[in-house]
Amino acid sequence: MNYLRPLYPFLLGWALVLNTSSFADIGLINGLGQLVLFGLVVCLPIWRTGRMSYVDIGWPWGLVLLGVASFFYSDGYWLRSLAVSMVLILIGLRMGLGALKMWQMGLLKNEFPRYQYQRIRWEKEGKNNVPLALQVDAISQGLANASFLALPVFIIASNSTSEFLLLEVFGLVIWLLAFALETVADFQKMGFLRDMKKAGKRRQVCDVGLWRYCRHPNYFAEWMVWNGLIVAAIPSWLALQSTENTLIWLLLGLGLLFTSKVMYTTLVYTTGAVPSEYYSAQKRPDYKDYQQNTNRFFPGPRRNG
């Protein structure tokens, strides 16, 4: 049962979606679609290769699937539904196209460090059946797309009013700024690596641009992308009080908060900052100084000159 524990919160989240009166049907369609997608694109390749890296293809394209399903099957105002669907599709395409490029270049033939770190964590937890742990982790990320990551999308797309409230616009502005910052951070990192390669320098620490103010600006921006969606969903969640029973309505509100927590935990501890730094500190001689001088996740001024 210890192996299956990562699935429990997402199964409960999906059960919550399926027990709503507003988006049970679309929740079922999206959830089954996510399981089929992950089964073919992630679970089967993991079973054949023993590498977790295929999640980087399945998860973002699952977001694209979520955005498409939301637009075609939601009952809300078409422009609001289109807006949130395009947001999801853009998030998914940004990462999904990059993942396909890495697959084309053959980079998925080696396990990514963040997934190598999973094996260290599993060993500490006494999980010796690595093939089973790999499959459970993969399925849990597919279920995340069917449950908590789908909640703000479904809630927004269920709102039938044609008037956009200020809080909705504010949330979408947060998303837009965070999406732009994440893209800028990625380009700055790629430019730095390209310059170091031209200069013949190896194992250098990227501390240019946004990377001067936190060690993982791309992860922070990704977290804020989802926080923007959650903020934008608040007016639509309040409107659901008249159509959902009180318990379901309250659980949906808690689910929105849990979405932010899930993304924070993932981006910092599970497959984000902590696994990345575990190997960076070993490979890059100056990385420990960078850790001492620069915030890990939340941007801020450097601690010394």
One-character DSSP codes across the chain: -TTTGGGHHHHHHHHHHHT-SSSHHHHHHHHHHHHHHHIIIIIHHHHHH--GGGHHHHHHHHHHHHHHHHHHH--S-HHHHHHHHHHHHHHHHHHHHHHHHHHHTTGGGS--HHHHHHHHHHHHTT---HHHHHHHHHHHHHHHHHTTTTHHHHHHHT---SPPPHHHHHHHHHHHHHHHHHHHHHHHHHHHHHHHHHHT--S----SGGGGT-S-HHHHHHHHHHHHHHHHHHHHHHHGGGTS-HHHHHHHHHHHHHHHHHHHHIIIIISSHHHHHHHHHHH-TTHHHHHHHS-SSS----S--
Distance CA 159, CA 58 (A): 29
Q: pLDDT band at residue 223, thresholds of 50, 70 and 90?
A: very high
- What residue type is 175 in one-letter code? W
Q: What is the pLDDT of residues 80-95, one digit of tens each?
A: 999 999 999 999 999 9
- pTM higher than 0.75: yes
Q: What is the pLDDT of residues 92-145, one digit of tens each?
A: 999 999 999 999 999 888 898 889 999 999 988 888 999 999 999 999 999 999
Closest of 229, 125, 8, 303 to residue 133, by C-alpha: 125
In this prediction, residue 303 carries a pLDDT of 83
Contact 205, 245 (CB under 8 A): no
In this prediction, residue 292 carries a pLDDT of 93
**Does position 244 have pLDDT exceeding 80, yes or no?**
yes
> For residue 129, what are its two tokens?
């059946």
Q: What is the pLDDT of residues 185-220, one digit of tens each?
A: 999 999 999 999 998 988 999 999 999 999 999 999
Q: What is the pLDDT of residues 254-280, one digit of tens each?
A: 999 999 999 999 999 998 999 999 999
Tokens 């399945």 correspond to what residue? 58
In this prediction, residue 2 carries a pLDDT of 82
> For residue 108, what are its two tokens?
């998925």
Q: What is the pLDDT of residues 8-67, one digit of tens each?
A: 999 999 999 999 999 999 999 999 999 999 999 999 999 999 999 999 999 999 999 999
In this prediction, residue 1 carries a pLDDT of 65
Domain residue ranges of the chain, discontinuous segments joined by +:
5-293
Distance CA 179, CA 87 (A): 10
Spell out the residues 6+ positions from residue 170 whose beta carbon is closer than 8 angstroms to its own: 231, 232
